[in-house]
Structure 1
Amino acid sequence: MQKDQLFTRRRVILASAAALGAAGTAGVVLVGGDEEPVRTTAPEPAPVAGPQARQAPKPSAFRLRPLTGYGPPRAAPRKLKVRKEPILSISGRGRHMMLTFDDGPNPHYTPHILDTLARYNVRAMFFVCGECVVDNKELLARMADEGHVVGNHTWTHPLLTTLNRKEIRSEMERTSDVIEDAYGERPQWFRAPYGAWNRATFQLGAEMGMEPMAWTVDSRDWTTPGTDIIVDRIESGAAPGVVVLSHDAGGDRSQSVRAIREYLPYLIDSGYHLTVPHRRVG
């Protein structure tokens, strides 16, 4: 399925996502589309913000090994405690925020977003779809080299609450495998498409060593409301701990590309420290 088809499909699916997503278990959070995010206190402390990138790191030899096919066997991921709700914000002293981008990578839009982030020495999170990674592995290699964090956003961007457990596992596991091949490490974060969570997604994510990450501010850029509106939503929603949701694929993202060129310098000039979570080791 082509990613640009998701723009049309998203409008249909979001209408039923609320009812389906709520059918999982108590504590399930459904946020996305035209709905306002639901703020929930996570069972565990939110991830502590990591340092803002000051310069692009050198290419990782560890990342290159899997690409050549001579890397060590994949180690089993560390299992995590199963959460009942996704993480919606980041913790840490000061004016920290985090930018996240979903549905990519896309060769027409992702490079421009990466260029803007590099210009201001800022790192971000990219929740990628496996089917998009297959033909754009070089973009994940660039994300690794420039210090960005890559998360799992499933293989085909389905509404997970309509799938059985085996299907959900396949969507998540295949994506983690291709991320490791292209990025050099297995993802430590997962985001459910459309913000539709249920018990199986939390359990399987924890089994695969991934924490569930949602968002605080939805730019709703997927509706292509205009660059100025996207900028205003992000700037007006700025606050310590905020996680911003935007997109670098799934449709025409030219407005998103133009918007980050405006709101990123504004956030920095306003004293915000754009950052990513600390990487778990071991």
Structure 2
Amino acid sequence: MDKKIVVWAALTVATLLMTGCAQQAGADAKPKARTTTPAVTPSPEHKDPEADRTAAYARWGLKPFPAPPAPPKVKPVKRQPGGPVPVISDIETNEKIVFITVDDGAEKDPEFVRLMKDLGIPMTMFLTDSAIRTDYGYFGQLAAQGHGVANHTLTHPNLRTLGPEAQRREICGQQQKLKEKYGTAPRLFRPPYGNWNEATRTAAGSCGVDAIVLWRESMQIKNMQYQRGDKKLHPGDIILAHFRGPAELKGTTMTKMTVNMLRHIQSQGFTVARLEDYV
């Protein structure tokens, strides 16, 4: 056979083999997957509750309160079975804590609901039906935040001017109203104006009240009104405030009045505890 023909045939076979291998390699090759860096979503562990709390307080021009100490295992105020209803103005304690109570219910400032939600400070609401009946839902929002609901009579009378049965109607009637609206009958009662007598005590006890709650300080528009001569807060003091509007507060809102009260409490080195944990 001619040598040229042999060489040509060998080259042709080699070319065909190389072409087939290249095609097979191309068929087997897979396109590379396109990679992207996933977006990083902060997990709940990355949140900073203390920073959130500080920011919430800052919205109202305040600094966060220290957490109150754990309440005592045995409540310092307790009605003995069959005994008279205790009457208190403060709680016996050595801790630098005070208790906020807010009366009546005439003012229904939406900003106050936001304030209390932001701050997480406990309070007890002593509610009068004639004041709250136009908007039971407003106080329901505050109760849902964990604030206490307590009794302040149906119509806010001076109980000293009423006989025993009339007092009982005022107190027991409001117990039932508050139970219907907010789920449970209150354990705490405050007589309007702080006026009470032994008939009040008997009536309150017959209605299921565990304590009659008075106060040591009352919050005015900008300043605190003190009962003691040293004009200072004392451990365990109960502070009185009211659901008041601009007409009574000379243009100041209830929310601003509350912020003023909190500044007074902080300036004296106190924090706020929940009254129901001690009574």
TM-score normalised to structure 1 length? 0.61
How has the CA–CA distance of structure 1 residues 231 and 203 changed in structure 2, closer, same or farther, with 3 Å as cutoff? Answer: closer
Equivalent of residue 252 in structure 1, options 239, 248, 257? 248
Q: Does residue 140 of structure 2 align to residue 141 of structure 1?
A: yes
Q: What secondary structure is seen at the aligned counterpart in 1 of 2:83?
A: coil
Identify the residue that residue 39 of structure 1 maps to in structure 2. Answer: none
- Listed one character per residue, the Cα deviations across residues 20-52 of structure 1 (whole Å, up to 9, x for unaligned) are xxxxxxxxxxxxxxxxxxxxxxxxx8539xxxx
Q: Gaps (5+ residues) in structure 1?
A: 1-44, 49-77, 222-226
- How far the C-alpha of 1:263 sits from its partner, in A, is 3.1
- Whether the 8 Å contact between 1:95 and 1:272 is mirrored in structure 2 is yes
Q: Does residue 49 of structure 2 align to residue 47 of structure 1?
A: no
Percent identical pairs in the alignment equals 23
Q: What secondary structure is seen at the aligned counterpart in 2 of 1:267?
A: helix
Q: Does residue 209 of structure 2 align to residue 214 of structure 1?
A: no
What count of residue pairs does the alignment treat as equivalent?
Answer: 198
How has the CA–CA distance of structure 1 residues 80 and 98 changed in structure 2, closer, same or farther, with 3 Å as cutoff? Answer: farther
- Whether the 8 Å contact between 1:231 and 1:262 is mirrored in structure 2 is no
- Tell me, in whole angstroms, the C-alpha distance in 1 between the residues paired with 2:244 and 2:82: 30
- Whether the 8 Å contact between 1:217 and 1:237 is mirrored in structure 2 is no
- How far the C-alpha of 1:123 sits from its partner, in A, is 0.8
- Tell me, in whole angstroms, the C-alpha distance in 1 between the residues paired with 2:265 and 2:161: 38
Alignment of 1:18-37 (within 5 A): none
Larger deviation, residues 130-139 vs 143-152:
130-139
Q: Does residue 99 of structure 2 align to residue 98 of structure 1?
A: yes
- Whether the 8 Å contact between 1:152 and 1:191 is mirrored in structure 2 is yes
Greater RCO, CA 8 A, separation 6+: 1
Alignment of 1:58-207 (within 5 A): 81-83=83-85, 86-107=87-108, 109=109, 111-207=110-206
- Listed one character per residue, the Cα deviations across residues 93-144 of structure 1 (whole Å, up to 9, x for unaligned) are 421101111111532x3x4333322222101011110122322211232122
- Tell me, in whole angstroms, the C-alpha distance in 1 between the residues paired with 2:179 and 2:237: 28
Q: What secondary structure is seen at the aligned counterpart in 1 of 2:98?
A: strand
| Larger-gyration structure (1/2) | 2
- Whether the 8 Å contact between 1:47 and 1:277 is mirrored in structure 2 is no
- Tell me, in whole angstroms, the C-alpha distance in 2 between the residues paired with 1:162 and 1:233: 27
- Tell me, in whole angstroms, the C-alpha distance in 2 between the residues paired with 1:141 and 1:255: 21
- How far the C-alpha of 1:233 sits from its partner, in A, is 6.0
How has the CA–CA distance of structure 1 residues 173 and 249 changed in structure 2, closer, same or farther, with 3 Å as cutoff? Answer: farther
How has the CA–CA distance of structure 1 residues 239 and 116 changed in structure 2, closer, same or farther, with 3 Å as cutoff? Answer: farther
- How far the C-alpha of 1:164 sits from its partner, in A, is 1.4
- How far the C-alpha of 1:265 sits from its partner, in A, is 4.5
Q: Does residue 260 of structure 2 align to residue 262 of structure 1?
A: yes
Equivalent of residue 272 in structure 1, options 237, 246, 270? 270
- Whether the 8 Å contact between 1:133 and 1:179 is mirrored in structure 2 is no
- Tell me, in whole angstroms, the C-alpha distance in 1 between the residues paired with 2:244 and 2:175: 19
- Whether the 8 Å contact between 1:134 and 1:178 is mirrored in structure 2 is no
How has the CA–CA distance of structure 1 residues 174 and 232 changed in structure 2, closer, same or farther, with 3 Å as cutoff? Answer: closer
Identify the residue that residue 240 of structure 1 maps to in structure 2. Answer: 235
- How far the C-alpha of 1:82 sits from its partner, in A, is 1.1
- Tell me, in whole angstroms, the C-alpha distance in 2 between the residues paired with 1:198 and 1:166: 13
- Whether the 8 Å contact between 1:231 and 1:260 is mirrored in structure 2 is no
- How far the C-alpha of 1:86 sits from its partner, in A, is 1.9
- How far the C-alpha of 1:207 sits from its partner, in A, is 1.6
How has the CA–CA distance of structure 1 residues 183 and 92 changed in structure 2, closer, same or farther, with 3 Å as cutoff? Answer: farther
What do you get for the CA RMSD once the two structures are aligned?
3.1
Q: What secondary structure is seen at the aligned counterpart in 2 of 1:237?
A: coil
- Tell me, in whole angstroms, the C-alpha distance in 2 between the residues paired with 1:277 and 1:266: 19
How has the CA–CA distance of structure 1 residues 270 and 196 changed in structure 2, closer, same or farther, with 3 Å as cutoff? Answer: closer
